[in-house]
């Protein structure tokens, strides 16, 4: 679990400048859930760390794409576009969280079941 916490701190230190507030909250929620709920599960440590990294990179890429689309769609920062970004930003930041979480858990369980069948 300490390895996961170290990885998260390092990632947020490096990529934290690229993120805005709602994206950082989404990344923190993903990281906390990953560390607390996934690292105690049985499975290879390398996969848990790789999944955490892939999830963080997916969240960062999603945030950059979302910000680019908002910039292209609104062109210039006006009051209505700021309001739309304020209201929809956090909701759209969490769209990537559920698929990445479920793919990681299913891959971890398939790796664990594969290891069980190889032992027998």
Q: Does the pLDDT of residue 29 top 80, yes or no?
A: yes
* 13: nearest Cα among 29, 2, 27: 27
Q: For residues 62 and 27, is the Cβ–Cβ distance under 8 A?
A: no
- d(CA 99, CA 59) in angstroms, rounded, equals 11
Average pLDDT over residues 35-42: 82
Q: What is the pLDDT of residue 107?
A: 82
Q: What is the pLDDT of residue 56?
A: 84
Average pLDDT over residues 25-40: 82
DSSP-derived 3-state class of residue 47: helix
DSSP-derived 3-state class of residue 78: coil
* 12: nearest Cα among 53, 72, 40, 48: 53
Q: Cα separations (Å) of 22 from 9, 75, 88, 93? A: 18, 21, 10, 7
What token pair was written down for 23? 């994206």
Q: Which domain holds residue 13?
A: 2-119
Tens-digit pLDDT profile for residues 58-83: 888 888 888 777 777 766 666 556 67
Tens-digit pLDDT profile for residues 77-103: 665 566 777 777 777 777 888 888 888
Confidence of residue 114 (pLDDT cuts 50, 70, 90): confident
DSSP-derived 3-state class of residue 3: helix
Q: State the total domains in the chain.
A: 1
Q: What is the pLDDT of residue 112?
A: 73
Q: Does the pLDDT of residue 33 top 80, yes or no?
A: yes
């Amino acid at each position: 679990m300490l390895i996961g916490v170290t990885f998260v701190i390092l990632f947020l230190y490096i990529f934290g400048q690229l993120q805005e507030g709602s994206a950082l909250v989404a990344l923190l929620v993903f990281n906390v859930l990953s560390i607390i709920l996934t690292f105690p599960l049985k499975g290879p440590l390398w996969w848990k760390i790789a999944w955490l990294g892939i999830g963080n990179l997916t969240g960062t890429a999603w945030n950059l794409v979302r910000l680019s689309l908002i910039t292209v769609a609104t062109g210039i920062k006006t009051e209505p576009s700021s309001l739309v970004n304020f209201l929809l930003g956090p909701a759209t930041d969490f769209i990537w969280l559920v698929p990445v979480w479920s793919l990681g858990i299913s891959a971890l369980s398939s790796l664990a079941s594969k290891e069980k069948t190889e032992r027998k």
